[in-house]
Amino acid sequence: MQKSNDGALPMPFFSPQLPDPQHALIIAYAQAQAAIERIEERRRLSPVRQPWRIRSLIAERQALARIDGLAIDDTDVLIDGRGMVGPSPYDLTHGRQAIGVPISLDALLHDGMALLEWLGISYSPISDNTSLAVARRTIPDMLIALDVWRRDALALPPSPPLLHGAELARLWRIHAPLGRGDLVVSLLIGDRWGPGRWRGSAGGLVALGLERSHAPWQRAEGHDLGLIWLKAIANGAQLHLDQEIRLRAYAHRAAQHVAQRRRPGRLKDILLLAMARPRISSSLVARQLGLTSAGAIKLLTIATDAGLLIEQSGQASYRSYAIPVALPSASAPNSDDLSMFEEFWADDAKNGTSPEPR
């Protein structure tokens, strides 16, 4: 480098460079990981964690069904008295039995029969209608195709779990071991390997984010696929977190109303039931809470008049009710008000934490 006339060294020239694609991938990975950890935290600390978990499971089931080319209503999901969510006979989504059901990572990659059983496919198609509905290939042919998928999966270069899940899903779509329903099953596989390691997903978190991104994820590869996949995880997680905020805002308002009533009776129990379900009816309330039909209708009317429930359809005992949580103006309560309503809802044993698939 030559000196100038005044003896000073010239300043070096730096040409502008385009952003490094790897930098964008690192940022997307950090955002996806942070979103999952935020859900993990809220699963432990949220005063509405139980109804939030149920509503998250329903949202993920519906997202997977839509990607599978189906549309299931929120009433097509079964919720038992313990808050366990399962498919109804009207849910024909491929791999629906695997949603919210744990499987070890070792079995996912190394045990073909365990993987098929996780997906609801068994050696007894005559006694298991699921096998007939899902499979075009015979089970021996599936196992051969799974071996080929496993060989290619083990040959993949090492990568962090959230990214590796995207590659496992891509290979599944290439080999299509089942012969039918492989598109949605690929998302279950990739989701279980990635966000399914945490409490943030029951199998459909990626699907929830992908269907809102409108990105060409089915054809993407390499860096593009990784970026789309990571953004889908972050977007799906944010949708869950937004739902938790709306539920908290509703619970805060409901707790204030119940606390102001001189004789609330079983009103709190009805609102807890309504938060944990897409919609409720007087017959469901009577059955779950041990009330008469007239008593259930009276309490539902009180909640509706107070604006805590919205009447949707039907007449008399066939009317259905839902909580108004979908309003875009819903906001979280101030932190100064949290302690009162957290204690109000947390004293119910049904709102305790529930184990998530690991």
| Structure confidence by residue, pLDDT tens digits, 124-143 | 544 444 444 444 788 999 99
Q: Is residue 13 part of a domain?
A: no
Q: How far apart are the first and last CA of the chain?
A: 60
74-128: pLDDT as tens digits: 777 877 767 778 787 878 889 999 998 999 999 999 999 999 999 998 765 444 4
Residues 114 and 258 grouped into a single domain: no
Q: What is the total count of domains within the chain?
A: 2
Residues 265 and 137 grouped into a single domain: no
Residues 230 and 309 grouped into a single domain: no
Q: Pick the last residue of a domain from 228, 243, 258.
A: 243
**What percentage of residues in the chain have a pLDDT greater than 90?**
54
Euclidean distance between CA atoms 312 and 280, whole angstroms: 10
Q: Is residue 276 part of a domain?
A: yes
Euclidean distance between CA atoms 334 and 331, whole angstroms: 9
The pLDDT of residue 129: 43
Q: How confident is the model at residue 337 (pLDDT cuts 50, 70, 90)?
A: very low
Q: How confident is the model at residue 172 (pLDDT cuts 50, 70, 90)?
A: very high
Q: Report DSSP state, residue 203.
A: S
Residues 197 and 234 grouped into a single domain: yes
Q: Is residue 1 part of a domain?
A: no
Q: Is residue 6 part of a domain?
A: no
Q: Is residue 15 part of a domain?
A: no
Residues 96 and 235 grouped into a single domain: yes
Q: Is residue 356 part of a domain?
A: no
The CATH code of the domain that includes 255 is 1.10.10.10
The residue range of the domain holding 149 is: 21-243
Residues 61 and 158 grouped into a single domain: yes
Residues 288 and 230 grouped into a single domain: no
104: left (phi over 0), alpha (psi -120 to 50) or beta: beta
The CATH code of the domain that includes 95 is 1.10.3290
The pLDDT of residue 314: 62
Q: Is residue 270 part of a domain?
A: yes
Determine the average pLDDT of the residues in 39-65: 92
Residues 84 and 185 grouped into a single domain: yes
Please return the burial class of 5, using the count of CB atoms within 10 Å of its CB with bins 0-12, 13-18 and 19+.
exposed
CA distances from 126 to 121, 122, 130 (A): 11, 10, 10
The pLDDT of residue 349: 44
Residues 97 and 213 grouped into a single domain: yes
Euclidean distance between CA atoms 351 and 137, whole angstroms: 43
User: What are the tokens at 201?
Assistant: 């997903």
Determine the average pLDDT of the residues in 225-240: 95
CA distances from 270 to 28, 69, 94, 263 (A): 41, 35, 34, 14
Q: Pick the last residue of a domain from 243, 268, 285.
A: 243
Q: Helix and strand tally (H, E) in the chain?
A: 14, 5
Residues 336 and 235 grouped into a single domain: no
User: What are the tokens at 34?
Assistant: 């942070």
95 or 356, higher pLDDT: 95
Measure CA 298 to chain center: 34
Q: Is residue 3 part of a domain?
A: no
Residues 265 and 207 grouped into a single domain: no
32 has a pLDDT exceeding 70 = yes
Residues 95 and 191 grouped into a single domain: yes
Q: Pick the last residue of a domain from 243, 261, 285.
A: 243
Euclidean distance between CA atoms 171 and 3, whole angstroms: 58
